[in-house]
Each structure stands twice: as structure tokens, then as C-alpha cells.
Amino acid sequence: MPLTWKPEFVLNQPQVDATHREFVDLVACLDESQGEMPPAALVDRFKRLIAHTIDHFGQEDRWMTITGFSPDNCHARQHKMVLDVMHEVVRLAEVEGHLDPLRRIVLELEEWFPQHADMMDAALVFHMSEVGFDPARPDAFKPKNAEDADAIKSCDGSSCG
């Protein structure tokens, strides 16, 4: 079943929701449940997803930095890990001619996204609203107090488990 947009994905942050809708659409374009697509088309579409994901994760990473997360917090680390794997499966497809890892990661992204959005992205949205950060007006953000400026190491202020 292709990943499709569901009401429970809505986090009520317009930029996050718009980006997540695009992500879901791009992943759905890679679904081969109705039949395999030509390898070149599959890799091309996957590269489009990577380009979008670089912006998607970069945007969230930037907001984390602005609002006091340390650069090595677990949310940003997970972004990096996912992107590293996405780049690696393209390398395997293009350089070594192995498409199976790319096909597998598409299925894994369909499983991964709802959990990531529900836990880490939802926690980020909550945190941004708590500290008064509006992504549409990043320059207007002033940390309310010294605590907000302290680096947050975990994704949501608690242990990553």
C-alpha cells in the first residue's frame, strides 16, 4: 500500500505540514505495488525525494539550532542517518547496479515517516510553540530566558530511549 496522507499526520504547523505532505507524495510516487517501474525512473524519482528531504530535514535542523537544541541532538542525528542511507542506496543502484536496497528503503520510509512525525517532529512543533518561535518569522525570535538558550541535547527534552 502506498503511503498516503492521513489526518493524524497533521501537526498544525503550516510549514511542517506542507513539507510533510510533499514528502508523502514523493514517497508514494516510488511505490511499486502496481508493478515495477524502469530502474532509471525509479532512481530519478528517488533522487527527487532526496533533494526534497535535504530541504525538509535542513529546515527542521535549522529551527532546532535557533531554538536551542544542540547540533548533536537525537532528532538531527536521525535525520542524518536517514539521509546517509538514502544516499547509499542511490550509490548502490548507480555504481553497483543493485536496486533492491533502494526498493527496500522506500518500504522502510513508509514505516518510518509516521513514527518520526508523531514523535520527533511533533515534539519539535510543540517546543517551537512553547518558546515562541514562528518559522514564518525566524528573525523575530528572541529566547524568553536563559534556559531557552541552553542547548537541548535530546529530541524532546527527555531521554531518547
List residues binding Fe ion (CB under 5 A): 60, 121
Got the DSSP string for 112-156? HHHHHIIIIIHHHHHHHHHTT--TTSGGG---SSHHHHSPB-SSS
Q: How far is the CB of 80 from Fe ion (least distance, A)?
A: 11
Question: Alpha carbon of 101 to those of 11, 20, 60, 90: distances in Å?
Answer: 31, 23, 26, 9
The smaller minimum CB distance to Fe ion, of residues 44 and 55, is found at 55
The smaller minimum CB distance to Fe ion, of residues 60 and 156, is found at 60
Crossing angle for the helix pair 100-116 and 39-66, to the nearest 10 degrees: 30
Q: How far is the CB of 11 from Fe ion (least distance, A)?
A: 9
* Residue closest to Fe ion (Cβ): 121
Residue 5: CB atoms within 10 Å: 14
What nine digits make up the cell of 87? 544516499
Q: How far is the CB of 105 from Fe ion (least distance, A)?
A: 17
The smaller minimum CB distance to Fe ion, of residues 94 and 114, is found at 114
Q: How far is the CB of 120 from Fe ion (least distance, A)?
A: 5
The C-alpha angle 132, 55, 113, rounded to 5 degrees, equals 85
Q: How far is the CB of 57 from Fe ion (least distance, A)?
A: 6
What does the alpha-carbon distance between residue 33 and residue 16 come to, in Å, rounded to a whole number?
28
The smaller minimum CB distance to Fe ion, of residues 60 and 110, is found at 60
The smaller minimum CB distance to Fe ion, of residues 16 and 42, is found at 16
Crossing angle for the helix pair 74-96 and 100-116, to the nearest 10 degrees: 160
